[in-house]
Homo-oligomer: A and B are copies of this chain.
Amino acid sequence: MRKRVSMKDIAKELQVSTALVSYVLTGRENEKRVSIEMAEKIRKVAKDLNYKPSQLARSLRGGATMTIGLLLADIANPFFASLARIIEDEAAKRGYVVLIGSSDESAEKSASLLDTFIDRQVDGFIIVPTEGSKEQIESLMEKNNAIVLLDRYFPDLNTSHVCLNNYNAIAEATTHLIQKGHNKIVMFVYQSSQIPMQERVRGYVETMKGLNLERNIKVVEVPYSFTKLEKERLIKMTLQNDINIDAVIFANNSLTIIGLYAIYQLGLKVPEEIAIIGFDGSEVFDFFYAPLTYVEQPLVEIGIKSVETLIGIIEGATEIKQFELAHTFHIRNSS
């Protein structure tokens, strides 16, 4: 790599100090009373030499790296990939660059990725917290880092967050199924103490209770650590063992897709033998033999709000903002 062109080179060329060059190239020539002629000369030489400021030096000196650390569960998961895309675009608009990491829902990986982000001195964090990462978040908070939690949060941690109103989403789905005449509804969720799952369960449970279907409540907890095949088997067994089940709600995207494999293999008629409600949307939902009714999250809004909020904090905002955004419910053939 050829030697970088630095302010020093421009300064030398014009026999002036680097201070002057800095003033002009950061657009503070008026404030710093640089003569118009000199400003022009500096800009010209900068252009001629194809000068590019070193973000590195700027960051070292100024403290800000204009970098955001984004910790997701898995970037290969379409839900997070889309979110990442939106966040990157939004961040780029504001001059920020995004470092992405995938925790795979492991607290260990989460810790190690957060450490990397710290080493890189990111200005702020957007985090989809995994189970068991509460202490990590707390430790970041103690050090006064800018943080926005995404998709999930810890109720006893006073952080900004952006997520879905999970209760409402599932409550509407449950109500819809009941109105359609289903009442033996089973819900598949990930075994998780995290708020979103809890809220989704609550949305289901309370709605069932409210319509006097308490005795029909059935929540199946699928361990996240299961392989795809094990999850599929658990779903199949559940549906086979209780033939009264006439509807299922899958509490998230990957469970929905795995669930579809299970139902497909069981050869169940949808929605006659079983109605299905999925989560987050996917092309798969369109191609399943009964196009799926599903809950859609407002991805764009979630992405933009999280970046906005984070940059707000980075720039000094102290107010804690907690967004619970509204879902969209798409009714199609599976219910």
Contact = CB atoms under 8 A, between A and B. Distances in A.
Interface of A: 1-2, 52-57, 59-60, 65, 74-78, 81-82, 84-85, 88-89, 92, 97-102, 116, 118-121, 143-145, 257, 260-261, 264, 282-284, 286-289
Given A97-B99, A264-B287, A287-B260, A81 B76 contact: yes
Contact of A88 (B88, B102, B284): B102
Contacts of A287: 260, 264, 284, 287-289
Copies of this chain, complex-wide, total 2
B82 A144 contact: no
Contacts of A92: 101, 116
A304 to B, nearest CB: 15
Given A99-B99, A284-B286, 11 more contacts: A1-B145, A74-B85, A76-B78, A76-B82, A76-B85, A78-B81, A88-B102, A92-B116, A98-B100, A284-B287, A287-B288
25 contacts: A1-B145, A2-B144, A52-B118, A54-B121, A55-B120, A55-B121, A56-B59, A57-B60, A74-B85, A75-B88, A76-B78, A78-B81, A85-B102, A89-B102, A92-B116, A97-B99, A98-B100, A99-B99, A100-B100, A257-B283, A264-B287, A282-B283, A283-B284, A284-B284, A287-B289
